[in-house]
Amino acid sequence: MIHFSKLISAVEITNKTNDKIAALVDYFTHAPDKDKLWLIAIFTGKRPKRPVQTKLMRQWCMQITKIPEWLFQESYSTVGDLGETMALLLPEPTHQIEKTFSEWMQEIIDLKSKTDQEKEAYVRHVWSGLETQERLIFNKLIGGSFRVGVSKKTLVNALAKYSGIEANQLMHSIIGNWDINEISFYDLLQGEHINYDNSKPYPFCLAYALEKDLEQLGDVNDWQVEYKWDGIRGQIVKRNNEIFIWSRGEELVTEQFPELVEAIEKLEGDFVIDGEILALKDNGILLFNDLQKRLNRKNVTKKLLQDVPIGFYVYDMMEWDNKDIREQPLSLRREKLEHLFSSEATNNKTLFLSQIITSQNWQDLISVREGAREKDSEGLMLKQKNSPYHTGRKKGDWWKWKVDPLTIDAVMIYAQKGSGRRSGYYTDYTFAVKKDDKLVTVAKAYSGLTNEEIKEVSRFVRNNSIEKFGPVRTVKPKLVFEIAFEGIALSNRHKSGVALRFPRISRWRRDKPVEEIDTIETVKQLIHSPN
């Protein structure tokens, strides 16, 4: 646990990916193989079920520390994390417990079948034998809320640096089905339980934001123009009757989208295609927030399949009949894509060939771009017809031409402290607009302010708090901000009746009094307005 605790401390105090990778490589170099397996399992969501109710741990902590519930709650509100609150409140350890990480995990699993009295005796004994940081990790592991600022991609890159094995192979291996008690660390890395050749993806071709005048691009007929969609970039691999779906973040997400697998199974031949995963319903594209409900799910329920159905907009092909065709021009790759989708098997509500927008001149495309929101699109993609499918970004061949963001003026009414390095400041805000003579929340935002502005807002929150709800503070409605966002839609799940897509703070409107903020009526008017 000591070594694991040091690793967690190392990755939590930095936001630099290379530093996190270095800390992980050091752990893989020195930890026992079983501990390495458990780290991979924990970091990829393969956590055991919570063996102890957190309300019981909370009671035991108050009994040990002899503090009243109101003081515990006040401490919890200040810290913002239950496991950390208990770790800080508990007295100094009376002895030292030294066990490997895998031994701890096995004890936590075994605890599930114990009585509440046995669980209490075990937890009290452990608390008295661990330092604060180790106790914090134990609390999170046993409470089922262990989270760490390391993405699967960072973990995989660390394993790749440690082992010399290709990152995509490692991603397939650790995301696949494996049992920690039935596989060795070496066999997991080598992918003994998978066939990587069938799943191997290609690096994505990426676009730059348009930075030229349209006329500088030459003849409009030399460009393939499509709508830009706000979903998850996806790559679907079909080889030897096996299907794999990769996200742009190089994560294997096949199990999260069973309807895509079912639709791809109906297509003949082997291929690798590139496109956008979107939440589609009632002939429209749902908000990205809806799409997020389908992410990181081990099991996709029938209800979720019905509430958030998924579609795939296909716009490129990288492999056809086991041949890499990335060096062929886009125009030829498009022909093969259209041939694949000419089959009746594609006549469904899941797979869609991206629409090519035709125009006689660049001026016509300006109005098409301005109306993109009416089609739930972010703007347009401009792709040179003779371009190959590049690895990564190459300026000049692919451009993304997004619409300008929508904006409203709203007042901050709630604030909450951030996490990690920002835990001392209020950085998470909730904003409201006017509805009759009241305020109604319309968006949350976490970015857009400078460090100095964050400090200034934090001082305002401390001096102008009205109520406390756990870590959240209700503040006097005085600070007005311009909120920018990519799209807006009606929503029954929000009190305001609307949901904003990617809201963020555009600027602090120090010049505007709260009486002049937008009303919910003016906000709703943006739903049908292209500007």
With residue 160 as reference, give the H or E element that holds it: helix 152-163
Domain with CATH 3.30.470.30 in the chain: 205-402
The residue behind tokens 């661990």 is: 130
User: How far apart are alpha carbons 249 and 152 in whole angstroms?
Assistant: 9
Q: How many CA atoms lie within 13 A of 394 on its CB side?
A: 11
Residue 247: helix, strand or coil by DSSP? strand
Question: In 44-131, which ranges are continuous DSSP H helix?
Answer: 54-65, 69-79, 82-89, 101-110, 116-127
- Can you point out the beta strands (E) in 141-270? 205-206, 208-209, 223-228, 232-239, 242-247
User: How far apart are alpha carbons 124 and 86 in whole angstroms?
Assistant: 12
User: How far apart are alpha carbons 312 and 260 in whole angstroms?
Assistant: 7
pTM of the model: 0.66
Distance of CA 276 to CAs 1, 245, 311, 351, 401, Å? 42, 11, 8, 10, 17
CB neighbour class for 529 (10 Å; exposed up to 12, middle 13-18, buried from 19): exposed
Q: Is the Cβ–Cβ distance between 289 and 231 less than 8 Å? A: no
Per-residue pLDDT, 347? 60
CB neighbour class for 177 (10 Å; exposed up to 12, middle 13-18, buried from 19): exposed
298 DSSP assignment:
S
Question: In 341-486, which ranges are continuous DSSP H helix?
Answer: 362-370, 451-464
Taking phi over 0 as left and psi of -120 to 50 as alpha, with beta for the rest, 258 belongs to alpha
Choose, from 34, 228, 417, 434, the residue flagged as catalytic: 228
Query: Is 228 annotated as catalytic?
Result: yes
- Note every long-range contact of 363-368, with CB atoms under 8 Å and residues 24 or more positions apart, other chains counting: 365/214, 365/220, 365/225, 366/214, 368/225
Domain with CATH 2.40.50.140 in the chain: 406-524
Integer-rounded Cα Rg, in Å, for the chain is: 26
Domain with CATH 1.10.3260.10 in the chain: 2-143
Angle, CA of 27, 30 and 32, to the nearest 5°: 95
CB neighbour class for 98 (10 Å; exposed up to 12, middle 13-18, buried from 19): exposed
Per-residue pLDDT, 421? 66
Q: Are strands 392-393 and 351-353 parallel, antiparallel or unpaired?
A: unpaired
User: How far apart are alpha carbons 293 and 302 in whole angstroms?
Assistant: 13
Assign domain 2-143 one CATH number from 3.30.420.40, 1.10.3260.10, 1.25.40.10, 3.30.360.10. Answer: 1.10.3260.10
User: Would you write out the chain's pLDDT as a tens digit for each of its 531 residues?
Assistant: 778 888 888 887 777 889 999 999 999 999 999 999 999 988 887 778 889 998 999 999 999 999 999 999 888 877 778 888 999 999 999 999 989 989 999 999 999 999 999 999 999 999 999 999 899 889 888 876 677 778 888 899 999 999 999 888 898 888 767 889 889 999 999 988 878 888 888 889 999 999 889 989 999 999 999 999 989 999 999 999 999 999 987 788 898 999 999 999 999 899 999 999 999 988 788 877 788 888 877 778 889 999 899 999 999 999 999 999 999 999 999 999 999 988 655 566 899 999 999 998 999 999 999 888 888 888 999 999 999 999 888 889 999 999 888 999 999 999 998 866 677 889 999 999 999 889 999 999 988 999 999 999 999 999 999 988 878 899 999 999 999 988 787 777 777 888 887 899 999 999 999 999 999 999 998 875 443
Per-residue pLDDT, 10? 82
* Residues in Cβ contact with 509 at an 8 Å cutoff, skipping those fewer than 6 apart: 409, 480, 481, 482
Per-residue pLDDT, 469? 81
| Topology annotation, domain 205-402 | D-amino Acid Aminotransferase; Chain A, domain 1 (3.30.470)
Q: Is the Cβ–Cβ distance between 246 and 256 less than 8 Å? A: no
Per-residue pLDDT, 42? 87
With residue 172 as reference, give the H or E element that holds it: helix 167-175
Distance of CA 383 to CAs 201, 362, 504, Å? 22, 14, 29
Per-residue pLDDT, 345? 53
Per-residue pLDDT tens digits for 78-123: 777 888 899 999 999 999 998 998 999 999 999 999 999 999 999 9
User: How far apart are alpha carbons 382 and 224 in whole angstroms?
Assistant: 6
Superfamily of domain 406-524: Nucleic acid-binding proteins (2.40.50.140)
User: How far apart are alpha carbons 131 and 356 in whole angstroms?
Assistant: 61
User: How far apart are alpha carbons 381 and 226 in whole angstroms?
Assistant: 5
With residue 290 as reference, give the H or E element that holds it: helix 288-292
Per-residue pLDDT tens digits for 322-368: 999 999 999 999 999 999 988 655 566 899 999 999 998 999 999 99
